Amino acid sequence: MTRKFRTLNLIASLGFGIATVAITAPSFAGASMAPGNMPQVDRAEVPAALMASLSSRPMGSSLADDASPALDFVRHTGVVKNLSLLLLHDVKNEAHVQAAIKRYGFDKVQKTVVSAIRVAQLEHGAEWGDMLAGIYGSHFNAGELKSILLEKESSPHFGKLIEEQDAIAAAVKLDGRDIYAEARAQVMRQLERALKI
């Protein structure tokens, strides 16, 4: 594909704790993924990506009093948005999508793909966020997560975040597999209905 999914370039610049997506590249920056599978993550890319999302939060800003500090963490860092990014990366290179671009043109297909992913994010995002919160909550206590969120790389627990990234990525690959597969299948069904080839 020679053209970019421009609508999602801004979203793609957001960091998240699983992998970094380069929308114009054929694979994740720092990760690899076969269609339909979760990414294999290069550990070195993850902290920088997560820091990008953490840096958008003002130092010392107050957190909402969620029942789950881990859920608050994944929401405030934007980690929960990575489901959309993973779906985009996966489906944009699907043969059906490529054939649809040739038949209908890039702009129509882009709008359809973005719409299908938005629907999947709305339907599966809460479950994805809960899954991520469970994983982060099993690796960090509430104080550690709050410290990382508010103090960023100055947090005394930031080193632990870097150390735990491989284990977190492996847990997401395992625990998120069914959610991801269901969301991906939903996106592909919607695309196949909307973009007849």
Task: Judge whether 5 and 110 are in contact, CB under 8 Å.
Answer: yes
Averaged pLDDT of the chain: 75
Question: Tens of pLDDT along 167-178?
Answer: 999 999 999 999
Q: pTM above 0.85?
A: no
- Identify which has the larger pLDDT, 40 or 69: 69
Q: Write down the pLDDT at residue 129.
A: 96
Per domain, the residue ranges of the chain are 6-194
Q: What is the mean pLDDT of residues 121-149?
A: 96
Q: Write down the pLDDT at residue 183.
A: 97
Q: Write down the pLDDT at residue 164.
A: 95
Q: Where are the strands (E) in the chain, listed by range?
A: 31-32, 40-41
Residue 67's pLDDT band, with cuts at 50, 70 and 90, is: low
Measured in residues, the chain has a length of 197
Neighbours of 75 (CB within 10 A): 18
Contacts of 193 (CB under 8 A, 6+ apart): none
| Nearest residue to 15 (alpha-carbon basis) of 58, 48, 62, 38 | 48
Least confident of 32-41, 80-89, 109-118, 119-128: 32-41
Residue 46: what residue type?
V
Question: Tens of pLDDT along 85-112?
Answer: 999 999 999 999 999 999 999 999 999 9
Q: Write down the pLDDT at residue 30.
A: 33
